[in-house]
Structure 1
């Protein structure tokens, strides 16, 4: 869920504040053998992860495919600055949360809540979260991209042969393979969306040339027709619906 990270942050901060009331300078300890980190270390790790949250969101979710398609569809329409970048990124962000909602709910139920109840250790929390994200990324990663990344990785041949499922693939290999696949699929979607608008441009350009009108750019004449076609066909709804269904 969207509030999963916020709940974790507040719970750790409140725990650290109550600990600080007892002593002015809390001792920093790493408990070896118990599998549980000290609160100060956990807070430091959490703040580090929070600073990398935008990159993690881009790398391990559907954000890349969605934002590329929404950005390039403006080029196909002939209005590269409308909607503005802020609107495109905001729409892509909320669509990402919509697509990733089942994944975030699983992380919350299977990893975060048990951690907050002190039922599992930090290491188990990380392992469960990684497995859930791996399952999502492996489902939407092309085998060709994954094979290329495995071939050029520094993994030993024995380790490569022991990979039987997505659980055995390291994140250092799966994440770039997933991002490459997302970019490739996004360009394929944009290519199909570009064709109708390209046909309109060609038709308008041919008509202007046949009429001997060479001083007016064809894009100026074709823009209203492309906008009308896109609006009448409910273009934004169809594009968003196709993007969401591509992850189901």
Structure 2
């Protein structure tokens, strides 16, 4: 009986589930979508720190905390969250362009995965070139032994990204240095007063830190700082 059953099974049609085979042999964009999504999730932290304004924001927030004299307030998580939300706000027009030029055509099957990546990299490159200094671009162009292009848009990403990061670090340090000056003045005044009245046992930072925090709150410092950072882009 078992032999007869095997003969009947060999002569019958292959087993298949309706709809499953059609899905497996259908649109070829599904594997590309999975690969692209997993790759994007892996490199997302590096993209945020190298191709967005987050570098400048975090540097300025760090200088502000050091100038106020509060070592752990606001915490790193709070500053990271604020920087992330401001980065998302600033990059919203760029993300809309990427969605229109690359994501939607790829999702509808009009372009391939590699073409979607090429088109999707153009809006971030244009954003970075807007704030990258020519001096930094020339540095990495010469270091990569790349022929000098006729226009900056022809530069590859391996040149634009590090040049943009250097420019953002310089801008962040410039803003941080200017931000330090009024708080440094408060420290100098408090140190001079405590020294003049002979309060050698009391560290000046104990008095200057509350005064700096009070000054920062009175002038609505967070609003002014956020507005200045947004206007710098």
Normalization by structure 1: what TM-score? 0.81
Length, aligned pairs only: 215
Displacement of 1:205 after TM fit?
A: 0.3
Secondary structure at the residue paired with 2:200?
Answer: coil
Unaligned stretches of 5+ residues in structure 1? 1-19, 28-35
Partner residue in 1 for 2:4: none
Q: C-alpha distance in 2, partners of 1:39/1:228?
A: 56
Aligned residue number for residue 179 of structure 2: 193
For the residues of structure 2 that align with 1:128 and 1:121, how far apart are their CA atoms?
11
Report the alpha carbon displacement of residue 37 of structure 1 after superposing the two structures with TM: 6.4
1:46 has 2:37 as partner: yes
- Which of 112, 116, 120 is the aligned partner of 2:103? 112
- The answer on 1:224 being equivalent to 2:215 is no
Partner of 1:69: 60
Q: Which residue of 2 aligns with 1:215?
A: 201
Q: 2:128 is matched with which residue?
A: 137
Is residue 242 of structure 1 aligned with residue 196 of structure 2?
A: no
Runs of 4+ more than 3 Å apart: 36-39
Residue aligning to 1:5: none
Q: What SS does the aligned partner of 1:199 have? A: helix
1:137-157 CA-to-partner distances (Å, cap 9, x unmatched) read 0001111111111121132xx
The one of 139, 151, 174 aligned to 1:148: 139
Cα distance in 2 for partners of 1:171, 1:135 equals 11
Point out the structure with max Rg over C-alpha. 2
Q: Which residue of 2 aligns with 1:122?
A: 113
What is the 5 A alignment of 1:80-99? 80-99=71-90
For 1:37 and 1:151, how far apart are their aligned partners in 2? 41
Q: 1:57 aligns with which of 48, 53, 68?
A: 48
How big is the alpha-carbon RMSD for the aligned residues of Structure 1 and Structure 2?
2.1
Query: Which consecutive residues of structure 2, in runs of 5 or more, have no partner in the other structure?
Result: 1-18
